[in-house]
Structure 1
Amino acid sequence: MTGPHAQVHAQVYAALEDQRSAAEQDKISRRLPSDSGLDVIGVRMKQVFDTAKDWTSMDLAQAPELLSSSWYEVRMVGVSVLDFKARRRGLSDDDRRRLYETYLDNHELINLWDFVDRAAPRVVGWYLLDKSRRPLFDLARSDKAIERRTAITASFWLIRQGDLDDPLKLAELLLDDPSELVTRPVGTALREVGKLDQERLRDFLAAHRGRMSRPTVRLATSLLPDAV
């Protein structure tokens, strides 16, 4: 890396390096997929998020340099900066569009479940709140499980705003997905629907329970008073 963007990467890395722990490095290394291709510094997530907060005002054009880092924690800082930017008050629709496009244009680098979960609801879901949901359905039909996870995880923000129709359609589309990367957040989405409208969740379960894995059913029904 060269230029000002590389300097940002170096500064973020240095801030994280100062907080490294051998025990945390071992802990994170053991939970990362063996094929992640990422190196681990060894920094607790709270410290990673605190570092990201310090960099929330960075130019969005610099985010891809963090997202393309070979270091897990630096990449998490990049994803978290997108999320923290999306939380800011008074963002214009163009601001949200730029965040959304940065996420999707770099999705091949947002390649772990915790990267997706960190940013997809506010960065993707919030932008699409008042727009066509076709991009979510396109992602839900992707041949990449991590992109399908983005589709259903982004819908958490829609559910939070009381919009249940498209999240339920996405859940139905992904209900018997072959990857647990997808079916777990499907169960979470259904659980969140049930917080707002138990009757709709019960109707969904009555129609589709036969397609659902046991872990998905357990997650979906975990807050129902008569869950079994």
Structure 2
Amino acid sequence: MMSITEKISTELQHLSNPEKREIFPRFFKAGKGEYGEGDRFLGVTVPDIRSVARRHKDIALDEIRELMQSEWHEVRLCALLVMVEKSKKKDDGLRRRLFDLYLSLTERINNWDLVDLSCRFLVGEYLLDKSRDILYRLSQSPLLWDNRIAIVSTYAFIRKGELENTYALSDLMMHHPHDLMHKAIGWMLREAGKRDPERLYGYVLGHRADMPRTMLRYAIEKFSPEERAVIMQRV
């Protein structure tokens, strides 16, 4: 008889799309020397993975941990989406266990989509009424994925109108060496700007000389053409 982890893996394999299986390793930079080096893909879309996750949302945390050891990217994403489903329950003890489990697995949350589809719910929303100190520790981690979790988790705060942590973490990681972080920080600044456009304008105007260009472009994407032209001028 199949274990639940074998069953989930088999279900995902049956949803494999040969064309996407060919494309995904290039899209997620799984080649030698790239940030996703060595990752393997079944070629399953996110909507299909969500459907599998919803069907299996009651599996045990130990089974989630086992799924997270899979060589297949989509199996790990499914495990994370199961965690997101579980986090919807109004159970503080469960949400704490999910938070702890998530942070124990960040080496396996090893691509931008895995981070972005999960951390807002499992880290950000959990911390809404708690200390945010863990985000600052994650921001200083040598692991790229910890750094991305730190900034993208602030999306939960932004949605509540709380912008301080987004700007503080942006300051701390402004000169991060990786383009994936430039994109993530720029994205979160853009989201913060939807809540307070004047603050974002002042921030990017003050940092335009030393902010990485990719970060800057992402941050000002919603500005008018005239505003973007002013901001993109080097001082």
**Partner of residue 232, structure 2:** none
Establish whether residue 217 from structure 1 lines up as the match of residue 216 from structure 2.
Answer: yes
Q: Which runs of 4+ in 1 moved over 4 A?
A: none
TM-score, normalization by structure 2: 0.89
Establish whether residue 14 from structure 1 lines up as the match of residue 43 from structure 2.
Answer: no
Unaligned 5+ segments in structure 1 are none
1:34 to 15, 20, 31: 31
The residue type equivalent to 2:205 in the other structure is A
Q: Secondary structure at the match of 2:142?
A: coil
Unaligned 5+ segments in structure 2 are 230-235
Is 2:42–2:74's contact at 8 Å kept on the other side of the alignment?
yes
Is 1:37–1:70's contact at 8 Å kept on the other side of the alignment?
no
The one-character-per-residue Cα deviations of 1:39-66 (angstroms, maximum 9, x if unpaired) are: 2222222211211111112222321111
Establish whether residue 194 from structure 1 lines up as the match of residue 163 from structure 2.
Answer: no
User: Deviation of residue 143 (structure 1)?
Assistant: 1.2
**Partner of residue 24, structure 1:** 20
User: Deviation of residue 18 (structure 1)?
Assistant: 1.6
Q: How does 1:49-68 map to 2 (within 5 A)?
A: 49-68=50-69
Q: How does 1:69-108 map to 2 (within 5 A)?
A: 69-86=70-87, 88=88, 90-108=89-107
User: Deviation of residue 207 (structure 1)?
Assistant: 2.4
Q: Secondary structure at the match of 2:8?
A: helix
User: Deviation of residue 112 (structure 1)?
Assistant: 1.1
Is 1:26–1:42's contact at 8 Å kept on the other side of the alignment?
yes
Cα RMSD between the aligned structures? 1.6
The one-character-per-residue Cα deviations of 1:175-223 (angstroms, maximum 9, x if unpaired) are: 1211112111100011011100011112211322222111211111111
Is 1:83–1:122's contact at 8 Å kept on the other side of the alignment?
yes
Q: Secondary structure at the match of 1:227?
A: helix
The residue type equivalent to 1:134 in the other structure is D
Q: Secondary structure at the match of 1:211?
A: coil
The residue type equivalent to 1:84 in the other structure is E
Is 1:137–1:170's contact at 8 Å kept on the other side of the alignment?
yes
- Paired residues in the alignment total 222
Establish whether residue 207 from structure 1 lines up as the match of residue 203 from structure 2.
Answer: no
